[in-house]
Amino acid sequence: MTEHAVAIAGGGPAGMMLAAELALAKVDVAVVERRPDHVLAGSRAGGFHARTIEVLDQRGVADRFLAEGQVAQVATFGTTVLDMSDFPTRHPYSLGIWQNQIERIMADWIAELPVRIYYGREVTGFAQDDTGVDVELSDDQSLRARYLVGCDGGRSIIRKVAGIEFPGWDPTRSNLIAEVETTEEPPPGIRHDATGVHALNTMEDGRTVRVVVTEQQLGLGSEPTLSDLSEALIAVYGTDFGIHDPTWISRFTDMTRQAAAYRAGRVLLAGDSAHVHYPAGGQGLSLGVQDAVNLGWKLAQVVDGTSPESLLDTYRDERHPVAARALRHTMAQTALQRRDERMQALVDVVSELASMDEPRKRLAGIASGLDIHYDLGEGHPLLGRRMPDLDVATADGPVRVFELLHDAKPALLNLGEPGGFDIAPWADRVQPVDASYEGEWELPVLGAVPAPTAVLIRPDGYVAWVGDRTQLGLPEALTTWFGPPAA
Instruction: Say if residues 374 and 316 touch (Cβ distance below 8 Å).
Output: no
| Largest separation between any pair of C-alpha atoms in the chain | 75
Per CB under 6 A, does 47 bind ligand FAD?
yes
User: Which part of the chain contacts ligand FAD (CB under 6 A), choosing from 42-50, 335-343, 392-400, 410-418?
Assistant: 42-50
Residue 31 CB, shortest distance to ligand FAD, in Å, is: 8
Using CA atoms, how far apart are residues 178 and 44, in angstroms rounded to an integer? Answer: 9
Coil, strand or helix: which one is 89? coil
Per CB under 6 A, does 186 bind ligand FAD?
no
Q: Toward ligand FAD, which CB reaches closer, 271 or 467?
A: 271
Q: What is the DSSP letter of 384?
A: T
- Residue type, position 47, single letter: G
Per CB under 6 A, does 12 bind ligand FAD?
yes
Q: Toward ligand FAD, which CB reaches closer, 133 or 455?
A: 133
Using CA atoms, how far apart are residues 107 and 65, in angstroms rounded to an integer? Answer: 12
Q: Toward ligand FAD, which CB reaches closer, 46 or 444?
A: 46
Per CB under 6 A, does 46 bind ligand FAD?
yes
In this chain, which of 22, 23, 25, 32 binds ligand FAD, going by CB under 6 A?
A: 32
Q: Toward ligand FAD, which CB reaches closer, 15 or 459?
A: 15
User: Which part of the chain contacts ligand FAD (CB under 6 A), choosing from 191-199, 275-283, 372-380, 459-467?
Assistant: 275-283
Between strands 275-276 and 391-394, the pairing is unpaired
Instruction: Say if residues 84 and 73 touch (Cβ distance below 8 Å).
Output: yes
Per CB under 6 A, does 104 bind ligand FAD?
no
Number of H helices, E strands in the chain: 11, 29
User: Which part of the chain contacts ligand FAD (CB under 6 A), choosing from 38-46, 315-323, 363-371, 418-426?
Assistant: 38-46
Per CB under 6 A, does 153 bind ligand FAD?
yes
Per CB under 6 A, does 230 bind ligand FAD?
no
Q: Toward ligand FAD, which CB reaches closer, 179 or 318?
A: 179
Instruction: Say if residues 370 and 89 touch (Cβ distance below 8 Å).
Output: yes
Per CB under 6 A, does 15 bind ligand FAD?
yes
Residue 279 CB, shortest distance to ligand FAD, in Å, is: 4
The alpha-carbon radius of gyration of the chain (Å, integer) is 23
Provide the 10 A C-beta neighbour count for residue 410: 21
In this chain, which of 57, 152, 254, 318 binds ligand FAD, going by CB under 6 A?
A: 152
- Residue type, position 106, single letter: M
Per CB under 6 A, does 45 bind ligand FAD?
yes
Q: What angle do CA 33, 67, 371 make, to 5 degrees?
A: 80
Per CB under 6 A, does 327 bind ligand FAD?
no
Between strands 442-443 and 431-434, the pairing is unpaired
Instruction: Say if residues 285 and 99 touch (Cβ distance below 8 Å).
Output: yes
Q: Toward ligand FAD, which CB reaches closer, 60 or 125?
A: 125
Per CB under 6 A, does 285 bind ligand FAD?
yes
User: Closest Cα to residue 203, out of 234, 180, 171?
Assistant: 180
Residue 103 CB, shortest distance to ligand FAD, in Å, is: 8
User: Closest Cα to residue 170, out of 265, 276, 326?
Assistant: 276
Give one DSSP letter per residue of 43-58, joined into a string: ----EE-HHHHHHHHH
Instruction: Say if residues 120 and 138 touch (Cβ distance below 8 Å).
Output: no
Q: Toward ligand FAD, which CB reaches closer, 326 or 466?
A: 326
Residue 151 CB, shortest distance to ligand FAD, in Å, is: 5
In this chain, which of 4, 6, 11, 423 binds ligand FAD, going by CB under 6 A?
A: 11
Residues 6 or more apart whose Cβ sits within 8 Å of residue 153:
10, 12, 271, 272, 273
In this chain, which of 5, 9, 366, 464 binds ligand FAD, going by CB under 6 A?
A: 9
* Binding residues with ligand FAD: total (CB under 6 A): 34
User: Which part of the chain contacts ligand FAD (CB under 6 A), choosing from 79-87, 285-293, 304-312, 468-476?
Assistant: 285-293
Which positions touch ligand FAD (CB under 6 A)?
9-15, 32-35, 44-48, 99, 122-123, 151-153, 157, 177, 252, 271-272, 279, 282-286, 288
